[in-house]
Amino acid sequence: MTKEKIVVIGTNHAGTYAVSTLADNYKQNADVITYDSNNNISFLGCGMALWIGGVIDSSDGLFYASPQSLEEKGVEVHMEHLVENVDTENKQITVKDNEGNTIVQEYDKLIIAVGSWPIKPNIPGIDLENVIYAKLFQHAEHAKELMANEEIKSVAVVGGGYIGVELVEAFKENGKEAFLITDGDVLNRYFDQEFTSKMSERLVAHGIEMHENERVEEILGTDKVEGIKTDKGTYQVDAVLMSVGFNANTKFLSNSGIETNERGVIIVDNQQQTNIEDVYAIGDCATIASNATHKGEHIALATNAVRSGIVAAHNAGGLKISHNGVQGSNAIHIYGLTLTSTGLNSEAAKLNGYNIDSVCVTDTIRADFMPTNENVTIKIVWDKDTLKILGAQIMSEQDISLAIHMFSLAIEVGYTIDKLATLDLFFLPHFNKPENFITKAGLLALNKVLTY
């Protein structure tokens, strides 16, 4: 029996899981071949701040697979090979190897997992030395080197998302003067003002100089970074980390016939298949179905990448399975404060056309007679017309992150806010109250619903 050739372009989170799933389940029917332009795979970029900040001593644990581990599964691995063109009509790709040679590779099934790349703003000074980015292992190495450089005394982080907030903490923990500059409120893509203000206060309390709602206009310097200019001021810094978002790495597909959205993100169905038969796309370069917006969204999270890789691999291998959709669940832990969210915050829900209502509750986690206790704040957003839960946000100095999974599932199954008040939740003083913070939020929400 002639084996199919299944080619995977890109081998980081999504690609690694796709390749491993194919090799573990379908190698009797398919030859699995992968090409990657990098010299390493499976780098957990979400952990780079831990390494840069000295929480962990080594970067070794930030890799969970290697080219060698995939080869041991029978995968044909080509590192430092750049795919330059995809010919979907003739089912072949054109590749430039690390010596400049051109290779034409035929395929029966193709999985595109080329990920995303940090946005490089078009501003003066963007190409100065000591302007750095955060995506690859090499970026983390560069940041680590700068932290060891005694000439680098101050760093500006541009961008108030997860990466920016985590790295500004890491730079401060390295003894650097740290600035955080963002054109909105910090973490406002995921959280409402009740939460973003507390994170901003926590950063300020630990010596971070915060510049929210400021737009960067120029990076100053002759050869190296000497400062940064915004629409509200000029600040002396020795390095700048740009973290203002990511674009999908899909420009090489412009003549392929593969459909992308206005941002260049590949449009896929719930089996990760593109508009072209036998061509799949996964991870940060592809859309993923959101159960909160009921649209294909670009949600660049490692968890989504992993799931999409598994789904695409099984479909390419012959087992038709569908993606459940996602809620964009996420969490961050900074200076002892944990914030976690799922689904839509208030602003995102409004932008998606929902008629919303919400409750926000702050309470202690455990019974008041317990010797130790912490506060927790929870906010739940729902659609007033259907009563379906659209999103939840939770904040505490206690690790309450697992509670968000309940709300993630609630959004996936269409759970309504009126049921939350009587949901069966256990009680034990070590963990919670008889009327715990989730129940209390549910009761307040029910009171609101009864007035509609």
Report, as an integer, the average pLDDT of 415-444: 95
Q: Quickly list DSSP for 39-50.
A: S---B-GGGHHH
Q: Is the Cβ–Cβ distance between 93 and 34 less than 8 Å?
A: no
395-410, pLDDT tens digit by residue? 999 999 999 999 999 9
d(CA 445, CA 422): 12
405 is catalytic: no
d(CA 267, CA 273): 8
Report, as an integer, the average pLDDT of 264-282: 97
Mean pLDDT across the chain: 96
* Residues forming a β-bridge with 154: 177
Q: With a cut of 90, say whether residue 344 has pLDDT above it.
A: yes
d(CA 452, CA 450): 6
For residue 64, how many other CB atoms are within 10 A of its CB?
12
Token pair for 429: 């003083």
Q: Is 175 left (phi over 0), alpha (psi -120 to 50) or beta?
A: left
Q: Which residues of 118-136 are buried (b: 16+ CB within 10 A; e: fewer)?
A: beeeeeebeebebbbbbbb
Q: With a cut of 80, say whether residue 135 has pLDDT above it.
A: yes
Pairing of strands 227-230, 116-118: unpaired
Pick from 70, 63, 69, 64: which is nearest to 22 by CA? 70
Q: pTM to 2 decimals?
A: 0.94
Token pair for 197: 């203000």
Instruction: Please report where in the chains the tokens 């926590």 appear, as a residue.
Output: 202
Pick from 114, 144, 136: which is nearest to 54 by CA? 144
Q: With a cut of 90, say whether residue 351 has pLDDT above it.
A: yes
Of these residues, 13, 81, 314, 323, which one is catalytic?
13
d(CA 143, CA 131): 10
13 is catalytic: yes
d(CA 7, CA 27): 13
Q: Is 213 left (phi over 0), alpha (psi -120 to 50) or beta?
A: left
pLDDT at 2: 84
d(CA 16, CA 96): 21
Report, as an integer, the average pLDDT of 148-154: 95
In the sheet where 109-112 sits, what is the strand order? 76-78, 30-35, 4-9, 109-112, 279-281
With a pLDDT cut of 90, the percent of the chain lying above it is: 96
Q: With a cut of 70, say whether residue 191 has pLDDT above it.
A: yes
Q: Is the Cβ–Cβ distance between 204 and 196 less than 8 Å?
A: no
1 pLDDT band, cuts 50/70/90, is: low
Displacement of CA 55 from its chain's centroid (Å)? 21
Displacement of CA 338 from its chain's centroid (Å)? 17
Q: Is the Cβ–Cβ distance between 375 and 405 less than 8 Å?
A: no
199-205 contacts, C-beta under 8 A, 24 or more apart = 199/165, 199/334, 199/337, 199/339, 202/334, 202/335, 202/336, 202/337, 203/165, 203/168, 203/169, 203/334, 203/335, 205/335
Phi then psi for residue 383, to 5 deg, are -85, 120
For residue 33, how many other CB atoms are within 10 A of its CB?
20
Q: Is 108 exposed, middle or buried (0-12, 13-18, 19+ CB in 10 A)?
A: middle
- Residues whose CB falls within 8 Å of the CB of residue 253, separated by 6 or more in sequence, listed in order: 86, 112, 260, 266
Of these residues, 46, 139, 206, 360, which one is catalytic?
46
